[in-house]
Chains A and B, each alone.
Chain A
Amino acid sequence: MAIEKKIEEEKITTLLEDLDSLESYIRDLFNFLPLPVFLLSPVKIILEVNPAFEQITDYKIEEVIGRSIEGIFNPEEIESLIQETIEKGSVKVKEMVLSTKTGEKIPVSASTVLRKSEEGDIVGYFFSLFNLTDIKKKENELINTQKSLLNILEDTEEARKAIEEEKNKTQSIVNNFTDGLLLFNQQGKLSLVNPQVEKLFGIKQDQIIGFSVEELASLPGFIPLVELLGGEIKEAFRKEIIVKDNLNLEVSTVSMVSDGQKAETLVILHDITREKIIEKMKTEFVSLAAHQLRTPLSAIKWTLRMLLDGDLGRITQEQREFIDKSYISNERMINLINDLLDVTRIEEGRYLYKPVLSDIAEITEFVVKSYQELIKRKKIKFDLKKPAGKMPKVLVDVEKIRLAIENLLNNAIRYTPVGGKVVISLSSKDKEVQFSVQDSGAGIPEDQQERIFTKFFRATNAVRIETEGSGLGLFITKNIIEAHDGKIWFKSEVDKGSTFYFTLPVE
């Protein structure tokens, strides 16, 4: 019996020893666990915590054992978690917020297991926590990264839309442009054609896209354009070509330079057929009008001239005087028509046509000679000042320059009173010759000086002195001088006189 008891006792001792070492094992494990773990009683009193728990909450073991968990977790949250644990026996990873001793909020994920006695009564709950701070931080970083990625994507999308819009705009401009547009790429191949080109040449763009200039020559109507551009697509600015009857085009090219290298060439075709027809009509009209107006005047002129020259028999002195005056009136009419024709030609841009190397002094002397009589009649003190030696020659249309000088001299004499003074001066310096004519006449009122070169303008005092006058002389003169790359200007004072100057470049 005693032996049995002893054996029993030994067994118990062994069991107790085992239990001790198991307990120590569990305690070690409990202490070692890096996850915060704690045990809660059914009434939410903290029964046990491990060092990891101390660490996360900043509470010492002795401060928390026996305390309610509600200071550490939100009471409602913990209640709901406990209810779920009771229902399911365990809960895995439930996100909660833990308040530390210092009041810091730490996001954690909690897992729970229900502890029951052998009788099935609830004796408590095991909690294990996982600190989510780092994960949350990472998550936030991830969210931010994602956000910025989305932003970038959005920007890209906006940029794409803007480009798309820009492209549509450009496309719409190209398509609706009234001029024909041909774009040749760097390799000289046609890469873009607008509908206007299709209309002008009666082709479809698929027929010519990818063609070089030379290849275009195989298509009807393109030959004049190809001849103008040449294989290397020469520079052109408003060059006129005739594609066929009633189709005149003005061709311009634009080189699109990128990084200093010629990249693409845009060829612009402007339809000038209508302008050409109008121009032709205008020329024909002017020609006709000139003919119609001049025909009776030339008949009168020739008759009077031959009468004056005695070709048609002797006339009396009195008859001569009347005929002479008629002749002068007729000449005035002829001059007016000539002025109008000159203005028309100036406006057509084809007034100047035959420049030759000439001596400005010779031209001036020629004009002066034809005014000698008038100068004498008005008792004007006239002088022509010129350099002693030869003046450098100028490349001019002699007839036009003669007309310009005549207009200026005529004005000077006409608006200078009897007995006044007119001086022409010629000089040369720095690659130009200068002409000036000074008078002691009426002068130009200051408020009208700005308009003096305007077509049909006559100063008020000029009209008072002489009612006749087209108001075209100075307009024509200015155009003649500027067409020769010269300059024209004047100085004037009312009742003192005017000086008109012009310069012409020496070749």
Chain B
Amino acid sequence: MAKKITIMEDEELILNLLQKKLISEGYEISVARNGAEGLKLINEVKPDLILLDIIMPEKGGFEVLEEMQKTPDLKNIPVIIISNSGQPVEIDRAQKLGAKDWLIKTDFDPQEVVDKVKQQIG
């Protein structure tokens, strides 16, 4: 059975590219374009991993992490942050909220994102 990944990302182009890349690697992908939508989605799908943008409309990435922490079913799903921001304070905060990794989009290729995903869930 294919591993399930949920992508939460408001930038359409990035979302499409990631989706295409990960499908080609054999993953099952569900997508949300904001945090509120994303939370609803992961409650239904219970994915194996989440790729999470930080700055999004409705609810941002930090709010998603906070709500996941409060929900036992979601708490242990590994999360990789994909963001264009990346200040030490933000990275620390995300780590404290359980995020596994923080990737700055400009510094990583889609292939490297796939590699990070594989590190987490194979």
Contacts and interface: CB of A to CB of B under 8 A. Distances in A.
**Bound pair (A, B):** yes
21 contacts: A287-B85, A287-B87, A290-B86, A291-B84, A294-B84, A294-B85, A295-B84, A298-B84, A298-B106, A302-B13, A302-B14, A302-B17, A302-B110, A306-B20, A306-B21, A309-B110, A311-B20, A311-B21, A334-B106, A338-B107, A345-B88
Given A287-B85, A303-B17, A306-B21, A311 B110 contact: yes
Lowest 7 CB-CB distances: which A-B pairs, in order?
A298-B105, A294-B84, A299-B13, A334-B106, A291-B84, A298-B106, A287-B85
A307 to B, nearest CB: 10
A446 B13 CA distance: 49
Interface of B: 11, 13-14, 17-18, 20-21, 24, 55, 83-90, 104-107, 109-111
Contacts of B104: 294
A283 B89 contact: yes
A305 B109 CA distance: 7
Contacts of B106: 294, 297-298, 301, 334, 337-338
Given A291-B55, A295-B11, A311-B21, A302 B105 contact: yes
Interface of A: 283, 286-287, 290-291, 293-295, 297-299, 301-303, 305-306, 309, 311-312, 334, 337-338, 345, 350, 353
A287 B20 contact: no
**B interface SS class:** helix
A350 B107 CA distance: 20
A283 B109 CA distance: 26
A448 to B, nearest CB: 32
Contact of B107 (A291, A309, A334): A334
Nearest to A353: B88
Given A290-B85, A293-B84, A353-B88, 12 more contacts: A287-B85, A287-B90, A294-B104, A294-B105, A295-B105, A298-B84, A299-B11, A302-B14, A302-B17, A305-B109, A338-B107, A345-B88
A442 B27 CA distance: 52
Interface-central residue, B11, B14, B18, B85, by most chain A CB under 10 Å: B85
**A interface SS class:** helix
Nearest to A298: B105
Contacts of B111: 305, 309
A279 to B, nearest CB: 11
A406 to B, nearest CB: 13
Contacts of A302: 13-14, 17-18, 105, 109-110
A286 B17 contact: no
A431 B14 CA distance: 48
A287 B85 CA distance: 6
B52 to A, nearest CB: 15
B4 to A, nearest CB: 21
Contacts of B110: 302, 305-306, 309, 311
A415 B55 CA distance: 40
A198 B61 CA distance: 43
